[in-house]
Amino acid sequence: MSEAKKSEVDKAFARGAHPHPIDRGRTLDMASTLDAIAEALSFPDYFGKNLDALYDCLTDLSWLPPGEHVLIWSGSSVLKDRDPKAYLAVRSVLSDAQRALGPSGDRTDSRRLTVVLPD
């Protein structure tokens, strides 16, 4: 685990959050990035592996325990360099979902989503 990712995991644990690190080497294109996010957050089998399904799962998280869930995507620059359009699309969905599950979001319940890109 990289030092940056370890630091973010430690920070999440310290504040009582649930860290979900993404395997750095798994985000090479859109499909592998969606798979890596799904694996990190233990998405259900019905995840449709597209951006709409990503948003739906990110703003649900009902299969995870209550509290803050921190998605830690170190190595996001790999996708950004290889496929900037895919990177921007995924980042947009992550930002929208984080906002929706934030304190003033429209889908607040007992789960919150924080997205961290340590590099």
CATH number at residue 82: 3.30.370.10
The number of angstroms, rounded, from the C-alpha of 43 to the middle of its chain's C-alpha atoms is 11
Pick the residue with more confidence: 11 or 108?
11
Task: Quote the pTM value.
Answer: 0.89
Q: How many domains does the chain have?
A: 1
Structure-block tokens of residue 97 = 């979902």
Section 107-118 average pLDDT? 84
42 close to 85: Cβ distance less than 8 angstroms: no
Residue 75: which domain range?
Answer: 3-116
* Residue 107 pLDDT > 80: no
